Amino acid sequence: MSKRVPDLELSRRGLLVAGAAGAAAAAVPTAEAQPRPAAAAPPSAKVALSVNGTTHTLELDTRTTLLDALREHLRLTGTKKGCDHGQCGACTVIVDGQRINSCLTLAVMHQGESITTIEGLGTPDKLHPMQAAFVRHDGYQCGYCTPGQICSAVSVLAEIRAGIPSHVTGDLTAAPRISNAEMRERMSGNICRCGAYSNILEAMADVAENHA
């Protein structure tokens, strides 16, 4: 028969009492304990944004992305938030004629620039040619990526027409042509989970051909 060692014996009740005493001691502030400093107010600034031809002055936390300023402050929810990490293109808007991912840039960086969102391209009664072509060619299914796709598509055609080469441009001394390869390459930052890519290309080719 084994013999019990009294020193190592600890009753359940004793263990609970010891634990409670330890917790109470930890909760009592010591002489060295310092009060926590009050949390600093977030940095903010007045930001004037020109969006779709109208200037809006907003008081913003300076860390606000352009995407959040558009969606959360101006209620322009046509621009979509997909990944919020620059990987899907759903947030694409046109700034001074160039497409950018609005989730990757701060609103304060765009004062004085001309920002165009999907709401500024056309209206339900008077669609932009690219919007109309997307409808004609069924360039979407769920539609979530579509505002970003359309802003990119408009900008891509302008880039090619301006003679800006891409990774697949063969001859850098000649003006790039509006080809499937050029459009695919330049649209590669716009992801469509529904896989409407071929119809998007058809819509772009239609606009390229019929709207100089």
Q: Which residues bind ligand FES (CB under 6 A)?
A: 81-84, 86-91, 101, 103, 140-146, 192-194, 196
Minimum gap (Å) between residue 185 Cβ and ligand FES: 17
Dig out the tokens for 65 from the structure: 């992305």
Minimum gap (Å) between residue 111 Cβ and ligand FES: 21
Minimum gap (Å) between residue 67 Cβ and ligand FES: 6
Minimum gap (Å) between residue 49 Cβ and ligand FES: 18
Do 108 and 206 contact (CB within 8 A), yes or no? no
* Identity of the residue, 145 or 187, whose beta carbon is nearer to ligand FES in the bound complex: 145
Minimum gap (Å) between residue 88 Cβ and ligand FES: 3
* Identity of the residue, 84 or 113, whose beta carbon is nearer to ligand FES in the bound complex: 84
* Identity of the residue, 89 or 176, whose beta carbon is nearer to ligand FES in the bound complex: 89
DSSP per-residue letters across 74-129: S--TTS--SSSSSSS-TTEEEETTEEEEGGGSBGGGGTTSEEE-HHHH--SSS--H
Rounded to whole angstroms, the Cα distance separating 169 from 63 reads 37
Give backbone dihedrals phi and psi of 195, rounded to 5 degrees, phi first. 75, 40
* Identity of the residue, 60 or 103, whose beta carbon is nearer to ligand FES in the bound complex: 103
Dig out the tokens for 8 from the structure: 């190592």
Rounded to whole angstroms, the Cα distance separating 52 from 45 reads 22
Count helices and strands in the chain by DSSP H and E runs: 7, 5
Minimum gap (Å) between residue 200 Cβ and ligand FES: 8
Rounded to whole angstroms, the Cα distance separating 188 from 208 reads 18
* Identity of the residue, 18 or 83, whose beta carbon is nearer to ligand FES in the bound complex: 83
List CB contacts of 64: < 8 A, sequence separation 6 or more.
Answer: 73, 106, 107, 108
* Identity of the residue, 176 or 192, whose beta carbon is nearer to ligand FES in the bound complex: 192
Which residues on neighbouring strands pair with residue 101, listed in sequence order? 92
